A and B are shown apart, each in its own frame.
Chain A
Amino acid sequence: MARILRVNTRNKKVTNEELTGDYAGLGGRGLTSRVVRKEVSPTCHPLSSQNKLVVASGLLTGTNAANTGRLSVGGKSPLTGTIKESNAGGTFSQKLAKLDIMGIILEDKPEPNAHFQTLFINKDGAKFLEIPEIAGLGTYDASARLFEQFGSKVGIMVIGPAGENTRLASSIQFTDPKGNPSRAAGRGGLGALMGSKKIKAIVIDSEGAKAPEVADKEAFKAAAKRWAEILVNHPVTGQGLPSFGTSILINIINEAGTLPTKNFRDGRFDKAADISGEKMVEFINQRKGVAKEGCHAGCVIQCSQKYCDEKGEYLTSGFEYETVWAFGSNLLISNMDHIAMLDRLCDDLGLDTIETGTTVAMAMEAGIIPWGDGQAAIDLLKKIYDPKDYLGAIIGNGTSFTAEAFGVDRVPVVKKQSLPAYDPRAAKGVGVTYATTPMGADHTAGYAICQNILKVGGDIDPLGKEGNIEVSKNLQIATAAVDATGFCLFVAFAVLDTDDALDTIARLISARFGINFTADDIGKTGIEILKDEYSFNRDAGFTLAHDQLPDFFINEELPPHKVKWDFTAEEMQKAKVEI
């Protein structure tokens, strides 16, 4: 039976617990948010011993159903002070599932001068190891060293210097099938939470473990076959994402006039073509990179890639639209190699690329470095390697902190988390999500770009108000449920357009556990998760006043459509599940 590994980081005790009571039947975001709701005081300091870092694989992770290998990481966010679930790819989750571990809870906190530890987990149990050589290293060198010690087949969860120094923009990185730590639980500063527990890395080895069996093999096989068909047959998941990666969005979001440019001053970037997915693929082909890769085995969509520099040397992978935007049009940088280097630096330092891009925008607003200067941005980020560098310390702490440090008043954040790559004034459905999700500004929590721009799952005017609250609410519920299963969120493009997709998912879950799970139960799962999250935030002191975008979106017109943000916080309460 699936279990939870409870790890006390102070006395180094590890216990195994069954998933019963409040935790029975939960996985992924369902489990991380429930544990945080039940076990973490909402008012605690996020870096204190009261907070917990929770890692969970999804309900379907470890099976051979396509795209089920994603991982949820949760806690009280050091960046926002809200509850947080951050979702990541990489090989870690499937190995966890193979060991029949549904979740890991890191709790308590070592003494301030304690040394960083590595937690090693295999079929025989878990143990703390001190590996002084990796302390202070970037995630690339640290994981290379860990692969040397534990073999190339392990999965690694690791923080970089940013997380070790509890910087608020820090991520947790995960190794991909090629061993690169380029997959991230990026949002919400969870790297700082891991750093506060003095855990540098968790290494997982599933060799020799016997994976848990699905309850009804025949039914599962049939449902998994239909599921793969659904993904492969849809033009977005079957063709668009594999061919061009997520940066295929740059051109269409630019055409739609909602590509945030120069810290959300314009909806179009005159050099968008230079940073587009089409351009990226051109470079990849010239330089012998790889245009399509999966972040875990069993991904049939394969939106990732290997991006090489001019000399043909590996530079980065998992190089996504959000990152290209954050360091590209947002900063007026149009040199793809500079943007790729900034992505690499973030992965190595262990920083959220979205948060860090918008932070560099604050430095540009303040005149610390010039707009559009990619090399200056690279030099700025490198300062974060040095724990004693004060400018590096400021930048590593994210957008809101940096804006305060330099007196910038144009700060694109909700609940202190920075807005991602769609201007909410010209994509109002996703704007409602930014304002109301329990996560702080987050596009993945209710990706209404589907209906606003891409015409997937409906067609709702991005510039008007009608339908945008409802679509955001429905998507927030559906997304929470998807995040409980271990599915990659990109399956949603196919699910929204395919009649029997929800039934197929319900059949997979039913057959996996030998229960009767219906398409209706998927919605109920999402609602339960959101209730845990909203009630945590309420008890942490979040109110209606926090559910709004910054003033400049309300006061300034966005070119080219000349639109302002016009939803009130009261109106948007309807997008939230009632507690």
Chain B
Amino acid sequence: MKIQVSCFATLSKYNPPDGYLEVEDGATPAHILDKLSIPRDEVKIVFVNGQNSGKEVVLKENDRVGIFPAIGGG
């Protein structure tokens, strides 16, 4: 199935070419991190459809995954 994946800030170099990734049914954000070879210690926040649902939630077709390092501002 197709998942929309965006990596931000210092992680943008890991972005999949067209912003989408093909994964197997039952895949989780953790699988996506591995597939893109993103070092776990550089990842602070993973959003699925804009919510902080953790790295182990099972994804559905066309889910939107956002991957971030530690971020602050204001």
Contacts and interface: CB of A to CB of B under 8 A. Distances in A.
A351 B44 CA distance: 36
B50 interface: yes
Contacts of A321: 73-74
Nearest to B67: A255
Nearest to B8: A251
Contacts of B8: 251-252, 255, 278
The listed residue with most A CB atoms (<10 A of its CB), out of B9, B52, B68, B73, is: B73
Contacts of A278: 8-9, 12
A277 B9 contact: yes
State the main secondary structure of chain A at its contact with B: helix
A443 B74 contact: yes
B9 A454 contact: no
Interface residues of A, number: 44
Interface string A448-459: 011001111001
Contacts of B33: none
Contacts of B64: 255
Interface in B15-53: 44-45, 47, 49-52
Interface in A210-246: 234-237, 239-241, 243-246
A79 B36 CA distance: 50
Interface residues of B, number: 21
Contacts of B71: 236, 240, 248-249, 252, 454
A241 B6 contact: no
Nearest to A267: B50
A28 B47 CA distance: 38
B74 A490 contact: yes
A303 B47 CA distance: 25
A490 B69 CA distance: 17
A243 B45 contact: no
B66 A255 contact: yes
Given A235-B44, A255-B66, A278-B12, A454 B6 contact: no
B72 A493 contact: yes
A444 interface: yes
B9 A450 contact: no
Nearest to A422: B74
9 interchain residue pairs of minimum CB distance: A246-B73, A235-B70, A236-B72, A255-B66, A257-B50, A249-B73, A493-B72, A251-B8, A321-B73
Given A322-B74, A493-B72, 4 more contacts: A248-B9, A252-B68, A255-B8, A463-B51
